[in-house]
Amino acid sequence: MEERKTKIRAFLSKSFRNRELQDDDDIFSLGFVNSLLALQLVNFLQKEFSITVEDEDLDFENFKSINNMNALLERKLGSAAVQG
């Protein structure tokens, strides 16, 4: 779980320069997320963790912090394991 958070933090830190992101920081309220970064973030989560972000996953809560993204991954990877 920590490894996942570390990877997410590393990805976000490229866009959030000079700011130490905490696991529960709301990245939207920090004002750095535009549509291109939002798209990159989805692509990163898909590629890095071998998931597919579906239309029903489009909820700002799922992407607003490192903790919430990790929770989304847990749900998706967990359900994938059950289905698999």
Closest distance of CB 1 from other proteins, Å: 21
- Is position 38 an interface residue for other proteins (rule: CB under 8 A)? yes
Rounded Cα gap, residues 18 and 45, in angstroms? 23
- Is position 23 an interface residue for other proteins (rule: CB under 8 A)? no
Q: Computed from CA positions of residues 40, 8, 70, 29, in that sequence, does the dihedral angle turn out positive or negative?
A: negative
Closest distance of CB 69 from other proteins, Å: 14
Please identify, using beta-carbon distances, which residue of 3 and 55 lies nearer to other proteins: 55
- Is position 79 an interface residue for other proteins (rule: CB under 8 A)? no
Q: What angle do CA 6, 63, 28 make, to 5 degrees?
A: 100
**By C-alpha distance, which of 81, 39, 54, 24 is closest to 9?**
24
User: In sequence order, what are the residues at sequence separation of 6 or more whose Cβ sits closer than 8 angstroms to the Cβ of residue 3?
Assistant: none
| Number of chain residues interacting with other proteins (CB under 8 A) | 23
Residues contributing to the site for other proteins (CB under 8 A): 11, 14-15, 17, 34-44, 46-48, 55-56, 58-60
